[in-house]
Each structure stands twice: as structure tokens, then as C-alpha cells.
Structure 1
Amino acid sequence: MSVSGLCELCSTNEIVDGCDRCGRLACEVHYDRETGLCTDCLKESGGTPDDEPERQPDGPDGVDTYQF
């Protein structure tokens, strides 16, 4: 897509593409090329952007059962 202007999410970076879901124009930081979604739509759909690590469930690491 050939567009120019500022990202509709941060209003500071140049646009790289538009979201396939909501149509907002997003910069490289706020656009996920793999899914074609802006970061807001990606979060709403339950995904995470490539540069954002997936959230681990709450609880201690390596513990899945408790014995009493």
C-alpha cells in the first residue's frame, strides 16, 4: 500500500500500512505484517505483536502440581 502521513495510533511515526480489520493507518511499530492487523485489533483478537512476548500464566515457574 502506498500511503503517507502519520500513524493513527501514535501520531508520530510514518504510516507503513492499513489494518485489515478496522482500516486504521498504522506505523511499523503499531502494525503486525504477519496478521495484517494494527496492534489494537491484534490485542482484541487475543494475539500478540511479534515484538511483544506472550504473557505467561500467573504462578511460580515450573510448578504444575502441589503435594501435601
Structure 2
Amino acid sequence: MSVSGLCQICESRPAQQRCGNCGTLTCLQHYERDKGLCADCAAQAQPSPDRDDVDVHRF
């Protein structure tokens, strides 16, 4: 993916990815490649701790 500018999370490294959820431009350090999400969205997508019997994610 071709992106340009600075990471919108750390604002210091070149952006190399775009979040598949919110569109935030991120550097590789703030991008969860396996999820296709920025660090902020990936943190919000953690499984709900009170529901360990199903695979549910919160956004």
C-alpha cells in the first residue's frame, strides 16, 4: 500500500500502512499486520474478558 506522511500515532516515523478500520496512517511499529489495524483499533478489538466461550471483538 502506498501511503505518505508521518505516522498519525507517534508523529515521528514515516507512515507505511493504513488502518483497515479507521484509516489512520501508521508506521510499522504502530500497525498490527496480522489484524490489519492500527495499534489503537487493535487494542479496542481485544476479546471481551467476560465472554471466553465465544470469539467476540469490541470496536
Aligned to 1:3: 3
> Which whole-Å CA distance do the structure 1 matches of 2:3 and 2:19 have between them?
13
Stretches of structure 1 lacking an aligned partner (at least 5 in a row): 48-68
RMSD: 1.1
Instruction: Name stretches of at least 5 consecutive residues in structure 2 with no aligned partner.
Output: 48-59
Which aligned runs of 4 or more in structure 1 are off by greater than 6 angstroms?
A: none
Q: Provide the TM-score with structure 2 as the length reference.
A: 0.74
Counting only pairs closer than 5 Å after superposition, residues 28-43 of structure 1 correspond to structure 2 as: 28-43=28-43
Whole-angstrom CA distance in 1 between matches of 2:8 and 2:17: 11
For 2:12, the equivalent position in structure 1 comes to 12
Matching of residues 40-59 of structure 1 within 5 Å? 40-46=40-46
> Going by fraction, where is helix more abundant, 1 or 2?
2
1:28-59 CA distance string (max 9 Å, x none): 11001111000000000117xxxxxxxxxxxx
Equivalent position amino acid for 1:31 in 2: Y
1:41 partner amino acid: C
Q: Give distance in 2, aligned partners of 1:4 and 1:19.
A: 14
Q: How many residues align?
A: 47
How far apart are the structure 2 equivalents of 1:4 and 1:20?
A: 16
SS at match of 2:2: coil
